[in-house]
Amino acid sequence: MYVADSRSSKAPVAPTPSTGGSARRGAAARAVPGAVLALGAVSMVTDISSEMVNAVLPLYLLTGLGLSPLGFGLLDGIQNGFSALVRLVGGHLADRRGRDGAARHKAVAVVGYGLSALCRPLLLFVHTVPLIGAVIAVDRTGKGLRTAPRDAMISLATEPAHRGRAFGVHRAMDTAGALLGPLTAFLVLRLAGGPLLADGGERHGYDAVFTVSACVAALGVLILLLFVPNRQDGDEPSATAPSLRASLHLLRLPGLRRLTLCAVLLGLTTVSDSFLYLLIQRRLGLSVSLFPLLPLGTAAAFLLLAVPLGTLADRIGRRRLFLLGHGVLLAAYGLLLSPLRGLPAVIGVLVLHGAFYAATDGVLAAAAADAVPAEQRGAGLALVGTGQALARFACSLLFGALWSAVGGSVALAWSAGALALCVGGAAVVLRPSETVATDAIEESS
């Protein structure tokens, strides 16, 4: 009854070390599918567009609109929580069938990317804080809608044995866009004339950034429409669409239930980036002038390691690498808490932090795809992703409160202890022998 994947008869669903090597079946199979490259290009271009805006928006609010640096963090958290819930809706809607029997992943993704793209030119016309907040909310809604169908398409377009690498390629392209965005924004501001950013109430430099960002976003939607197939190879036409009840009952699948449980547990002990950067600055004696560069360090490591670690996931098992990735995060916490100081320690923490993302972000989606049947792929991936995102949001609130109570370093030490416990617990829940056995039974039934 439970067919984990349409190709489960041809290729192993849960790769094991023994099949990892023999899974090479010629250049065509090894190549990353065109649909994945196209989706990677869409993500890259869209991230350039959104990061352009994100890079200048705080300064625009500060110097252009005269806002005070108060209370943005919580608003940001609430909107991210909302976006995580929208992801569930996007995943469910994407699994519904069109007249041809194909899933609507691409249609929902187009709506999601399109909504965000429409927000960019709107920034040219709204100049009050509540309206800008509304535009940002619509942008986040678009992001929430598109995430699950996009990952579902990546998983359906790729041979199960190569999904880790495919997601790695996608995440690398995505991160490259995130790195290029702020540079592009800076270039536009430079071409538009120097010191506009800093002072003086000139809006034209920002308007140029918003306009270029809108053009780039439109290009992203166009690439999606033109170069991503309407139906992925792994998506078998089906007359019956999964009902809402079926989506809600996804957690009855043992593999998905265990994976979601682990993603939530580990998400609850994943300290958010901004807290981590603050602790790096405080504990490792980092000069304040280098502080804005910290996220770039994480992103660079993520970018470089996403493909190799994704490939490694295909060889040693995605769940195993997902767990190992959290071990790497634990090592980052340990290094941060150690007596080591100075730039080498900072670089070490950032490399470990980027490796953590490379070993867990796309890898979790690949692991989740193993556990969900093709016709419910969107909703299944959304479930795992939403669980993780909400857990991380809860962790942020807890960590902030803990920081106030016992200080940042002690709070991190507690988080490290909790993370170690959760990694241990998750290792038990995701025991390879048991999961392989269960999956095998489910496949044969």
Partner 1 sequence: MNLRNRTRVIVLLVAVLLLGAVGTGAVLHAADRTARRDQAQPGGPAVTSGAVSLQAPDSGRQLLFRNMAWGPHRDEITTVPADRPDGPRTASGVQCLRFHAAAGTGICLQAQHGALEDTYRAVVLDDHLRELRAFPAAGIPTRSRVSPSGHLVAWTVFVSGDSYAGSDFSTRASIVDVRDWNLRENLEDFAVILDGHPYQAHDVNIWGVTFADDNTFYATLASAGKTHLVRGDLAARTLTTLHDNVECPSLSPDGTRIAYKKRVPGLPADSPWRLYVLDLGTMTETATAEQRNIDDQALWSGTGTLLYALPGDYGADLWTVPADGTGAAQLVTRAAVAPAYLG
Site for partner 1 in 288-317 (CB under 8 A): 288-292, 294-295, 298-299
Q: Is residue 50 involved in binding partner 1 (CB under 8 A)?
A: yes
Answer yes or no: are the C-beta atoms of 320 and 330 closer than 8 Å: no
Site track 143-172 with partner 1 (rule: CB under 8 A), x = hit = ------------------------------
Q: Is residue 216 involved in binding partner 1 (CB under 8 A)?
A: yes
> Binding residue for partner 1 (CB under 8 A) from 85, 98, 207, 261?
207
Query: 427: closest CA among 324, 344, 279?
Result: 324
Q: What is the dihedral of CA 275, 278, 283, 288, to 10 degrees?
A: 170
CB of 90 to partner 1, least distance (A): 20
> Quick one: 3 or 192, whose CB is closer to partner 1?
192
> Quick one: 154 or 197, whose CB is closer to partner 1?
197
CB of 407 to partner 1, least distance (A): 5
> Binding residue for partner 1 (CB under 8 A) from 11, 97, 98, 186?
186
CB of 284 to partner 1, least distance (A): 13
Q: Which residues pair with 97 in a beta bridge?
A: 103
CB of 11 to partner 1, least distance (A): 28
> Binding residue for partner 1 (CB under 8 A) from 84, 117, 188, 324?
188
Stretch in the footprint of partner 1 (CB under 8 A) among 92-100, 129-137, 321-329, 429-437: 129-137
CB of 172 to partner 1, least distance (A): 16
Write out the binding residues for partner 1, residues 360-419 only, by CB under 8 A: 399-400, 403-404, 407-408
Q: Is residue 229 involved in binding partner 1 (CB under 8 A)?
A: no
Count of residues that bind partner 1 according to CB under 8 A? 81
Stretch in the footprint of partner 1 (CB under 8 A) among 18-26, 52-60, 363-371, 431-439: 52-60
Stretch in the footprint of partner 1 (CB under 8 A) among 195-203, 374-382, 384-392, 415-423: 195-203
Q: How many helices (H) and strands (E) does the chain have?
A: 17, 0
Q: Is residue 211 involved in binding partner 1 (CB under 8 A)?
A: yes
Site track 75-114 with partner 1 (rule: CB under 8 A), x = hit = -xx-------------------------------------
CB of 119 to partner 1, least distance (A): 14
Query: 82: closest CA among 390, 341, 438?
Result: 390
> Binding residue for partner 1 (CB under 8 A) from 275, 333, 356, 393?
275
Q: Is residue 343 involved in binding partner 1 (CB under 8 A)?
A: no
> Binding residue for partner 1 (CB under 8 A) from 23, 32, 44, 57?
57
CB of 281 to partner 1, least distance (A): 8
3-state SS of the chain? CCCCCCCCCCCCCCCCHHHHHHCCCHHHHHCCCHHHHHHHHHHHHHHHHHHHHHHHHHHHHHHHCCCCCCCHHHHHHHHHHHHHHHHHHHHHHHHCECCCCCECHHHHHHHHHHHHHHHHHHCCCCCCHHHHHHHHHHHHHHHHHHHHHHHHHHHHHCCHHHHHHHHHHHHHHHHHHHHHHHHHHHHHHHHHHHHHCCCCCCCHHHHHHHHHHHHHHHHHHHHHHHHCCCCCCCCCCCCCCCCHHHHHHHHHCHHHHHHHHHHHHHHCCCCCHHHHHHHHHHHCCCCHHHHHHHHHHHHHHHHHHHHHHHHHHHHHCHHHHHHHHHHHHHHHHHHHHCCCCCHHHHHHHHHHHHHHHHHHHHHHHHHHHHHCCHHHHHHHHHHHHHHHHHHHHHHHHHHHHHHHHHCHHHHHHHHHHHHHHHHHHHHHHCCHHHHHHHHHHHHHC
> Binding residue for partner 1 (CB under 8 A) from 1, 28, 226, 239?
226
Stretch in the footprint of partner 1 (CB under 8 A) among 147-155, 220-228, 315-323, 427-435: 220-228
Q: Is residue 17 involved in binding partner 1 (CB under 8 A)?
A: no
Q: Is residue 125 involved in binding partner 1 (CB under 8 A)?
A: no
Q: Is residue 273 involved in binding partner 1 (CB under 8 A)?
A: yes
Stretch in the footprint of partner 1 (CB under 8 A) among 112-120, 266-274, 377-385, 436-444: 266-274
Give the pair of three-digit tokens for residue 438. Answer: 């269960």
What is the C-alpha to C-alpha distance for residues 239 and 227, in angstroms, rounded to an integer? 26
